[in-house]
Structure 1
Amino acid sequence: MDYKRPMRTVAVLGGGIGGLAASYYLCKSSQVTKVIVLESSSRFGGWLQSTRRSDGAVFEHGPRGFRPAGAMGRNTLNMVDDLGLGGEILPVTYNHLASKNRYLYVNKQLHRMPSGISGLLQTVPPFSRPLLLSVAMEIFVKKGKEDDESIHSFVSRRLGKELADVAVDSLCRGVFAGDSRKLSVRSCFPPLYNAEQHRGSLTLGMLLGSGPTPVIPPGPLAQKAIKELWAQWSLKRGVESFPESITEYLQRSGRVQLQREAAVKQISPSASGWKIHLEDGVILADHVISALPAKALSSVLPSSCQLLIEHLQDIFTATVAVVNLEYEGSILPVEGFGHLLPSSEDLGLLGVIYDSVAFPQHNRPNGQTTRLTVMMGGAWFQEVFGSPESVTEQCLLAKATEAVHCHLGVTTAPIWSWVALQKNCIPQYYHGHFRRVESMRSFIRKNNLSLSLIGSSYDGVSVNDVIFIGRKAVEELLGTEV
């Protein structure tokens, strides 16, 4: 890609957290004169969406917290620090009940996941043998010969079918709203794949390291997170205050033009880069950073990009129904982060998050209440609920309240509820995903396209991943660290 031409104007397609993060990093460089952010909806922030009720209660309709660990976690905290949000952070430490207690709902019962050495040494239901036995035997398993494998197959081979069927199946539903039998281990859990490739064992990979990781020095806030042993964190006014702060920062910079309700109809190559066609005009840009979902980008590219279009259309997404519930009083039989369900238990129900345990600060200040979030559908949405266009909020709310009643023994009705149908919100990295992404980026290089692909469709679905991917794209574009 020819990065030597001057970068006067960069257009960022999509104003979710990925597009905002890329714009933030572009603002850190003097090489770019103007940044134009084009968002098709009426708000910035994408899936980071919070409801702040007038009585002080906060409810999350997408991601509800961030992990501070690793290079990506430090990178996000450094950005939060720079935005002046440090005083807004609500940390959850590793010794908090929401960190120590995580549950699985199996055979119509809640089971606390084993933790600590004693938990690993004992046989803890729903498992039929101590987990340490599976871990100890794993060292002797031969390395796989394929260049990719489903997560279920990988874990079955290395740690046993029971762990794959119960724990990992549930985990994939909680993280990706996806099917572990289809998802790629190489793309969804790179540390596991790399541990086997470089060390021949997950255990040795975790102990000795499994390849290079990005070097991100921790700023003051990230240092505080390490010192205080944060496991996760949120913000006092909900996670949406993060993209709101980035938006304010971009507006103050004087170099960023933020356009809401600016759906991109088509992009076509021009002498200097791209012509971006909107409903009401054309924008010229030297470079395009696309944070659009893969299928959305495929629909606006010119026919000369046919191979790229086909690969983009091969990236599927999952639809998740997120139902927020509030109950009067303290109604939970257990305290913890929440519980997940394997697909064998209930295809349509992914899990229930006990929001009030991790972040009681988001409860209304007067009178005790319990806030829960029920997640449903995912890769099984169509099979269980039918078309997202035809399903009713009443149907989803009924399924969610029934789950809370059956799983947690709650007999009262919620005093407040919110149903959010998040259509196509989580990309599904199916077997061979890495080859598709490599082929797309190879096409962009060979055709010398002034185009960067960021967002959750390619290299990671977590908020931390998406922010870091935006940073990396800007650094590659400008040929310097930001």
Structure 2
Amino acid sequence: MNDFLIVGAGISGLTLAWSLRRRGASVKLLEAGPHAGGKIRSYRQDGYLLDAGPNSLLDRGEGLRDLIDGLGLGARVVEANPHAQRRYVCRGGRVLALPASPMAFLRTPLFSLPAKLRLLTEPWRSSATQDESVASFVRRRLGREFLDWAVDPFVSGVYAGDPERLSVRAATGRIHALEAEAGSLFLGALRRARQGRASGPVPRGRLISFHEGIGELTAALAAALGDAIATGRPVTALRRTDRHWVAETAAGTECGSTLILATPAAMSAELLEPFDHGLAEHLRAIEYPGVVSLGLGFAREQVQHPLDGFGLLIPSREGRRTLGALFSSSLFPGRAPDGRVLLTAFIGGARNPAAPSLDDSDLIETVVEDLRPLLGLTGSPVFSALNRWASAIPQYTIGHLERVAEIDRGFAALPDIHAAANWRGGIAVGDCVNNALALGERLLPEATGEAA
């Protein structure tokens, strides 16, 4: 029997299994799909290197770097082009760079003069006494224009979500913390700067990938775990005996003293329904809108925009269905053949749930026509590849932290069971890695030696 039985071989499950094995524990990791890695997958097609899900990693010198070093991937890391710090947003059909300095902010046409002057009153805005939406928070503290032309596209780009529904405490906790600490975003940032902490709400670090895409990370984890992983083994039911958990699969049963569910909330709900209906209902309340990722290749002369940045975000007020596009071949080397460029566009999300049901040709046509006037596209793409995610990103809607607290109470009432997934603690790959490593440390605080 295994010390630990983990269901779900996405980045959370893989990292946790790797951490526990390094501490000398016996682990079995069950994955329903044919490959480990979850939504992280990189592949080459017609000379293009594509990431089907997440496209980059933010290395802040925390657990992610330890994981990379532990896997011996340091030499495989590639840093993003320095121009990747430039982010573009469109307003009124114009593509404008988000200001990156005080002088650029004063000069930018992205915000009106009254909107800029309103920021001077931010330290005197009242603080909220309860959870509120990201949209409500930003309107109250910074004004409508900053919601429409900065925060709304940011939320669409990160969560594929609706700022009117996302919780400011759960989805943008770093921003909310500034108000909670100092009653003001600006005063909170100044206080942190004086204390030597990160001064802004946006995390700092190196934007990185690997020579063959971020799928190298999950592939290396899978290789390190070897036969501890069983793919193509969906768990159909769970049982609890006096001393261990049993997972039922079509190929037989697997047992473990401790069970970890590293699965999306809906799958965890299905498995836990026989044990606690209320717990399952709280898990089902976490929404996952669908998103389609489109890799579009063009000849360089087909694109007028210099593509000198991270990408383009499209605010919802622009009336386009496309959420935005990454300038993938500008971000990292080797993403497109010579003389070609690769854009990675996204469509769907909480505000456009019908988009993932469109057929491939309609999706490509919609995205190209949305981007054509913004990036100066001519003709049709010379390459295209689509990746559909029916349930893409968990939405941290208002009440999410309370919902997670109820889920935690439900897990605590069951013996020897834990959760490791991006429906809690942050949706970014780095957050998942940090949370999984921290859970491994809590489960086995003292390493017992390197596993064979």
Q: Same fold (TM over 0.5)?
A: yes
Report the CA distance between 1:135 and its aligned residue.
4.2
Report the CA distance between 1:129 and its aligned residue.
2.4
Q: Provide Cα deviations, 1:219-242, integer angstroms capped at 9, x if missing partner.
A: xxxxxxx9xx96411111111011
One of 285, 291, 310 as aligned partner of 1:320: 291
One of 124, 128, 148 as aligned partner of 2:112: 128
Structure 1 residues 118 and 82 mapped into 2: Cα distance closer, same or farther (>3 Å)?
A: same
State the partner residue of 1:3: none
Task: Give the SS at the match of 1:428.
Answer: coil
Q: Provide Cα deviations, 1:388-443, integer angstroms capped at 9, x if missing partner.
A: 4x421111111122223232121122111101111111001100100010111122
1:193-342 to structure 2, matched below 5 A, reads: 193-209=176-192, 231-251=206-226, 257-330=228-301, 331-334=303-306, 335-342=308-315
Tell whether the 8 Å contact from 2:16 to 2:437 is kept in structure 1 after alignment: yes
State the partner residue of 1:408: 375
Task: State how far apart, in whole Å, the 2-side matches of 1:312 and 1:19 are.
Answer: 18
Report the CA distance between 1:144 and its aligned residue.
1.1
One of 408, 414, 430 as aligned partner of 1:464: 430
Please identify runs of 4+ aligned residues in structure 1 that moved more than 6 A: none
Report the CA distance between 1:15 and its aligned residue.
0.7
| Paired AA for residue 411 in structure 1 | T
Structure 1 residues 448 and 480 mapped into 2: Cα distance closer, same or farther (>3 Å)?
A: farther
Structure 1 residues 62 and 134 mapped into 2: Cα distance closer, same or farther (>3 Å)?
A: farther
One of 28, 31, 37 as aligned partner of 1:39: 31
Structure 1 residues 234 and 380 mapped into 2: Cα distance closer, same or farther (>3 Å)?
A: same
State the partner residue of 1:98: 84
Task: State how far apart, in whole Å, the 1-side matches of 2:162 and 2:320 are.
Answer: 10
Task: State how far apart, in whole Å, the 2-side matches of 1:213 and 1:276 are.
Answer: 48
Q: Provide Cα deviations, 1:270-304, integer angstroms capped at 9, x if missing partner.
A: 11131111123222211111110000111112423
Q: Provide Cα deviations, 1:183-207, integer angstroms capped at 9, x if missing partner.
A: 0111111111222112211122223
Tell whether the 8 Å contact from 2:273 to 2:279 is kept in structure 1 after alignment: no
Q: Provide Cα deviations, 1:337-376, integer angstroms capped at 9, x if missing partner.
A: 1111111213521001111111133222xx3111101110
Tell whether the 8 Å contact from 1:347 to 1:377 is kept in structure 2 after alignment: no
Task: State how far apart, in whole Å, the 2-side matches of 1:476 and 1:131 are.
Answer: 47
Tell whether the 8 Å contact from 1:273 to 1:287 is kept in structure 2 after alignment: yes
Q: Provide Cα deviations, 1:163-187, integer angstroms capped at 9, x if missing partner.
A: 0122111100000000000001111
Task: State how far apart, in whole Å, the 1-side matches of 2:277 and 2:125 are.
Answer: 42
Task: Give the SS at the match of 1:268.
Answer: strand
Task: State how far apart, in whole Å, the 2-side matches of 1:269 and 1:209 are.
Answer: 48
Structure 1 residues 45 and 138 mapped into 2: Cα distance closer, same or farther (>3 Å)?
A: same
Q: Provide Cα deviations, 1:241-291, integer angstroms capped at 9, x if missing partner.
A: 11001111112xxxx621011001111221113111112322221111111
| Paired AA for residue 197 in structure 1 | A
Are 1:419 and 2:386 an aligned pair? Answer: yes
1:429-448 to structure 2, matched below 5 A, reads: 429-445=396-412, 447-448=413-414
Normalised to the residue count of structure 2, the TM-score between the two structures is: 0.92
Task: Give the SS at the match of 1:425.
Answer: coil
Tell whether the 8 Å contact from 1:138 to 1:159 is kept in structure 2 after alignment: yes
Task: Give the SS at the match of 1:344.
Answer: helix
Task: State how far apart, in whole Å, the 2-side matches of 1:444 and 1:357 are.
Answer: 45
Q: Which moved more, 1:20-29 or 1:390-399?
A: 390-399
Task: State how far apart, in whole Å, the 1-side matches of 2:218 and 2:283 are.
Answer: 26
Tell whether the 8 Å contact from 2:18 to 2:221 is kept in structure 1 after alignment: yes
Report the CA distance between 1:322 and its aligned residue.
0.6
Structure 1 residues 127 and 391 mapped into 2: Cα distance closer, same or farther (>3 Å)?
A: same
State the partner residue of 1:222: none
One of 90, 97, 111 as aligned partner of 2:96: 111
Q: Which consecutive unaligned segments of at least 5 residues does structure 1 have?
A: 1-6, 215-225
The number of aligned residues is 440
State percent identity of aligned pairs. Answer: 28
Task: State how far apart, in whole Å, the 1-side matches of 2:273 and 2:147 are.
Answer: 43
Report the CA distance between 1:54 and its aligned residue.
6.1
Tell whether the 8 Å contact from 2:15 to 2:437 is kept in structure 1 after alignment: yes
State the partner residue of 2:200: none
One of 144, 150, 157 as aligned partner of 1:167: 150
Tell whether the 8 Å contact from 2:115 to 2:143 is kept in structure 1 after alignment: no
| Paired AA for residue 83 in structure 2 | L
1:338-353 to structure 2, matched below 5 A, reads: 338-346=311-319, 348-353=321-326
Normalised to the residue count of structure 1, the TM-score between the two structures is: 0.86
Report the CA distance between 1:457 and its aligned residue.
1.1
Task: Give the SS at the match of 2:318.
Answer: coil
State the partner residue of 1:360: 333
| Paired AA for residue 462 in structure 1 | A
One of 129, 133, 157 as aligned partner of 1:150: 133
| Paired AA for residue 105 in structure 1 | C
Task: Give the SS at the match of 1:285.
Answer: strand
| Paired AA for residue 26 in structure 1 | L
Task: Give the SS at the match of 1:44.
Answer: coil
Q: Which consecutive unaligned segments of at least 5 residues does structure 2 have?
A: 198-202
Task: State how far apart, in whole Å, the 2-side matches of 1:230 and 1:295 are.
Answer: 32
Task: State how far apart, in whole Å, the 1-side matches of 2:272 and 2:295 are.
Answer: 37
Report the CA distance between 1:8 and its aligned residue.
4.7
| Paired AA for residue 178 in structure 2 | A
Task: Give the SS at the match of 1:316.
Answer: coil
Task: State how far apart, in whole Å, the 2-side matches of 1:234 and 1:283 are.
Answer: 35
Structure 1 residues 82 and 479 mapped into 2: Cα distance closer, same or farther (>3 Å)?
A: closer
State the partner residue of 2:56: 65
Task: Give the SS at the match of 2:316.
Answer: coil
| Paired AA for residue 319 in structure 2 | D
- TM-align CA RMSD: 2.3
Task: State how far apart, in whole Å, the 2-side matches of 1:134 and 1:19 are.
Answer: 46
State the partner residue of 2:42: 50
Are 1:176 and 2:170 an aligned pair? Answer: no
